Amino acid sequence: MIRHFLHVDFDAQRGLQEQVRETLINAILSGIFPPDAPLPSCRALAAQLNVSRNTTALVFENLVNEGYLLSRPRSGYYLHPDYHQPQVNPTLAAPVCESAAPRWGNRLKIQPSQQESILKPAGWMHYRYPFIYGQPDTHRFPLASWRAAANWLHGGIRDPAWVVDHIDQDVPMLIEQIRTRVLPKRGIVAAPDEILITLGSQNALYLLTRLLMSPDTRVAVENPGFREAINTFMLADTRIVPHAVDEEGLVLTDTPCDYYYVTPGHQVPTGVSMSKARRAQLLDYAARHDAVIVEDDYDSESNFMQNPLPALKASDRSGRVIYVSSLSKALSPGLRLGFMVADPDLIDEARALRRLMYRHPPANIQYQMAHFLAQGYYETHLRRYHDDSARRWEMLASALHTRLPECTLMAGSEHANAFWLRTPEAISTQQLTWRAAHAGVLIEPGARHFLDATPPDNFFRMGFHAINPDAIAPGVDVLRGQLEQM
């Protein structure tokens, strides 16, 4: 018998059968087992992996039932013929192509990788003090209620409507939940044909860019602003027109634009909430100059202010506001589930364009989210999320006030989901970020948010959802130590 040494670095958080099965599947698909020789016996594999014989026997039987293996009495388990790996005949190898590979750099029409963007370390979770924005506390995800929604979806009692291709249609149940449960909280009244489900709000911005923008289009953006939105608009070679931000939000200029992209709930990255007066001014300005407003209400559900102002869309009387938002920001950013509210004619075209890209967001996720909303699980989670966010905000605000008083918070940004801080002019936050990271503190330098030719280098951002609350004050102490050494 040919011996094959298989190794498993067992994870205590996962089942033994699951991990043994995964190891065997990888071995089968990679072709390490010869087709004419038996696999290791249940007893031999159990001894090799230091697991029970029952564990390996159950895995082998399961692989037989699923067609990976054949069981031969008194002989053992063999590969099913479908998984025999034929030997490669060197004489039949593919001919060597003498021409050079395509020069892809010369063929690319756009190069998104060259755009200025906000970079975050892939291993942010390994930092001791991750003051990073946009990542959740994974321990607070409502796993039990999300699993209950999944059990409802996969219960087998109903017709699995999520299995079929919906072509370009969304799940009516989710549209109805958004229309009756989500939008009213923002003061928005919408018909079903005015709502489109998207893969996050970023996907909605891409659809709008492809549909509405060209090199002749002037798009007003906040400065500093949300880089990924600006990068998306630039894919259409639009003329980006930066607008300053003060304690009331975007500052209008005398030069009208075709579109105004704003984040009025909490401006990105400053956290400023656009005032009532500035909102009214923007709506009036857009009507007088035949402009359209793209309202990115990205934190509509994660906004933990006691009485947040209604959305701009709620005051829209002329159909000039396109509203985009997220359903997953406060729940699980990895779900990538958002929506857009606009005139039915625009929604129809966005739906047609979406069909050409990916048809529709996964129907199973739409159904599961719809049930999650309908059962009240989402509201329960949001109440807890808001309470936790308010507590974390107060803890970080207190730590910054007492330990880093020289770093000032922008006026009008209270209770945002991140802190936008200004250091003394002599401090380079690029250098501070580098020094802090080596001390285990992760913050985000602010220069990349600016569109200035020479962006200021004395701003940085701090989130508070990904860090352990008990580590907030100690983390600020470490940051202060690094600041004092500069």
Residues 225-272: pLDDT tens digits?
999 999 999 999 999 999 999 999 999 999 999 999 999 999 999 999
Q: Flag whether pLDDT at 3 surpasses 70.
A: no
Whether residue 94 lies inside any domain: the answer is: no
What pLDDT sits at residue 86? 54
pLDDT of residue 189: 97
Q: Could you give phi then psi for residue 3, rounded to 5 degrees? A: -95, 135
Q: Does residue 344 sit in the same domain as residue 323?
A: yes
pLDDT for 150 beyond 60: yes
- Please name which of 72, 68, 86 lies closest in space to residue 26, comparing C-alpha atoms: 68
What average pLDDT does this structure show over 408-423? 92
Strand, helix or coil for residue 246? strand
Binning pLDDT at 50, 70 and 90, where does residue 158 land?
low
Residue 401 φ then ψ, to 5°: -65, -40
If you search the block for the tokens 């289009």, which residue do you land on?
A: 217
What's the average model confidence in pLDDT over 426-441?
94
3-state secondary structure of 325: strand
pTM attached to this predicted model? 0.84
Give the number of other CB atoms < 10 A from CB of residue 18.
Answer: 11
When divided into structural domains, the chain yields a total of: 3
| 397-403 long-range Cβ contacts below 8 angstroms, 24+ apart | 398/473, 399/472, 399/473, 399/476, 400/462, 400/476, 403/473, 403/476, 403/477, 403/480
- Regarding whether 361 and 238 lie in a shared domain, the answer is yes
Instruction: Using the Cα atoms of residue 167, residue 171, residue 176 and residue 181 in order, give the sign of their dihedral.
Output: negative
Q: What mean pLDDT comes out for the span 141-168?
A: 86
Distance CA 224, CA 218 (A): 18
pLDDT band at 163 (very low <50, low <70, confident <90, very high): confident
Q: Is the pLDDT of residue 1 over 60?
A: no
Instruction: Kindly list the strands in the beta sheet with 459-462, ordered across the sheet, starting from the edge strand earlier in the chain.
Output: 408-409, 419-422, 459-462, 444-445
b or e along 458-481 (b: 16 or more beta carbons within 10 Å of the residue's beta carbon)?
bbbbbbbbbbeeebbebbbebbbe
Query: Rounded to whole angstroms, how far apart are CA atoms 315 and 296?
Result: 15
Q: Which of 107-121, 197-211, 432-446, 467-481 has the lowest mean pLDDT?
A: 107-121
Q: Which residue has the higher pLDDT, 243 or 49?
A: 243
Q: Which pLDDT score is estimated for 95?
A: 58
pLDDT at position 240 is 98
Do 384 and 372 reside in the same domain of the chain?
A: no
Q: Do 287 and 176 share a structural domain?
A: yes
The domain in which residue 394 lies consists of 121-140+380-484
| 12 band by pLDDT with thresholds 50, 70 and 90 | confident
Would residue 89 count as lying in a domain?
no
- Residue with the larger pLDDT of the pair 163 and 183: 183
Give the pLDDT score at 15: 86
Pick the last residue of a domain from 60, 83, 106. 83
Reply yes or no on whether the pLDDT at 152 is more than 60: yes
- Low-confidence winner among 52-56, 177-181, 361-365, 371-375 (lowest mean pLDDT): 52-56
Tokens at residue 354, please? 């979406």
CATH of the domain at 135: 3.90.1150.10
Q: Give kind and range of the element (H or E) at residue 478.
A: helix 472-484
389, 264: one domain:
no
- Asked whether residue 387 is assigned to any structural domain, the reply reads yes
Domain assignment present for residue 154? The answer is yes
Does 115 map to a domain? no
243 and 368 in a single domain? The answer is: yes
Q: Are residues 183 and 299 in the same domain?
A: yes
Q: Please indicate, yes or no, whether residues 53 and 191 belong to a single structural domain of this protein.
A: no
**CB atoms inside a 10 Å sphere around CB 137:** 16
DSSP of 398-434, one letter per residue?
HHHHHH-TTSEEPTT-TT-SSEEEE--TT--HHHHHH
Instruction: Please indicate, yes or no, whether residues 204 and 254 belong to a single structural domain of this protein.
Output: yes
Distance (Å, whole) CA 439 – CA 475 = 10
Same domain? For 151 and 241 the reply is: yes
- Select from 376, 393, 411 the last residue of a domain: 376
- The band of 295, judged by pLDDT with boundaries at 50, 70 and 90, is very high
pLDDT of residue 444: 95
**Mean pLDDT across 128-155:** 92
3-state secondary structure of 184: helix
Say what the pLDDT of residue 217 is. Answer: 98
Answer yes or no: is 102 within a domain: no
Confidence (pLDDT) at 36: 84
Residue 303 has pLDDT above 60, yes or no: yes
- Do 341 and 433 belong together in one domain? no
Residue 220 lies in a domain: yes
pLDDT at 409: 92
Are 192 and 252 within one domain? Answer: yes
Q: How far apart are CA 396 and CA 462, in angstroms?
A: 9
Please name the residues in contact with 273: beta carbons below 8 A apart, sequence gap of 6 or more. 249, 264, 265, 266, 267, 305, 308, 309, 412, 413, 416
b/e per residue 395-412 (b: at least 16 CB within 10 A): bbbebbeebbeebebbeb
Q: Is the pLDDT of residue 6 over 60?
A: yes
pLDDT in tens, 17-48: 899 999 888 888 888 888 888 888 888 888 88
